[in-house]
Amino acid sequence: MDTTKENQNNKNVEENELKNNEEIISESVEQENTDNSDKQEEKEQSFEDKYLELNDKFIRLYSEFDNYRKRSNKEKLDLISTASEGVLKDMLTILDDFERAIANNEQVEDVNSLKEGFNLIYNKFKNTLESKGLKAMESVGQIFDSELHEAIANIPAPSDDLKGKVVDHVEKGYYLHEKVIRFAKVVVGQ
């Protein structure tokens, strides 16, 4: 009987150990699941934080770029609106000369002094424009070039060496620092 009791006690102890082991395993699994879910939540939280941080950086960068674009467009508009200021300032003295000439020449009867005055004003005007980079195009006697000239008319060439060349110009062409700003309107010999 003692053996049966002992066997019974052993069985009970084994059952208790099994129950304890099951509880420990169950707790361990629950703890592991809790840890995994905590880790998963931490990962999700970490990803969300990272997303929010990157989104914030993107919005700030976009705002900075938008402000830069607006500022540079405003600066361009200001530059364009005041670009001709220097030229116009220099032309004001010529305008003053014309006004003085008109006022002084109302009573003048000497044609030569009028011509001389207008030549002085013309030369001052021409020198001012040339100092700003304007250069007249020499086209008479040159080979016709559609990149520089606009043919207004074709006439029979006065001599064989003028065939395909510019015989006369109706309107001068001009360069501004090597860039054509007005094409020369020319008559071409055939």
Say if residue 75 is in the same domain as residue 64: yes
Say if residue 41 is in the same domain as residue 97: no
- HSE-CB for 40 with a 13 A CA cutoff: 6
The domain of 53 spans: 1-83
**CATH number of the domain enclosing 189:** 2.30.22.10
Q: Residue 103 has what pLDDT?
A: 87
Which pLDDT band, with edges at 50, 70 and 90, does 63 fall under?
Answer: very high
pLDDT at 55 over 60: yes
Say if residue 51 is in the same domain as residue 7: yes
Say if residue 128 is in the same domain as residue 142: no
pLDDT at 86 over 60: yes
Q: Of 83, 104, 122, which marks where a domain is finished?
A: 83
Q: How many domains does the chain have?
A: 3
Sheet containing 179-182, strands listed edge to edge, beginning at the edge strand earlier in sequence: 134-136, 174-176, 179-182
Task: Convert 117-132 into a string of H (helix), E (strand) and C (coil).
Answer: HHHHHHHHHHHHHHHC
Q: Of 132, 154, 169, which marks where a domain is finished?
A: 132
pLDDT at 1 over 70: no
Average pLDDT, the chain: 86
Residue 176 phi/psi, 5° resolution?
-125, 105
User: What six digits make up the tokens of 37?
Assistant: 């879910």
Whole-angstrom distance, CA of residue 156 vs CA of residue 152:
14
Which pLDDT band, with edges at 50, 70 and 90, does 87 fall under?
Answer: confident
Question: Which residues are CB-neighbours of 85 under 8 A, at least 6 positions away?
Answer: none
Report the chain's terminal Cα–Cα distance, integer Å: 142
pLDDT at 17 over 80: no
Q: Of 18, 53, 83, which marks where a domain is finished?
A: 83
Q: What is the mean pLDDT of residues 104-116?
A: 85
* Residue scoring higher pLDDT (43 or 144): 144
pLDDT at 145 over 70: yes
Say if residue 18 is in the same domain as residue 75: yes
Q: What is the mean pLDDT of residues 16-33?
A: 72
Q: What is the mean pLDDT of residues 40-48?
A: 81
Q: Contact 51/45 with Cβ under 8 angstroms?
A: no
Q: Residue 152 has what pLDDT?
A: 93
Q: Contact 174/133 with Cβ under 8 angstroms?
A: no
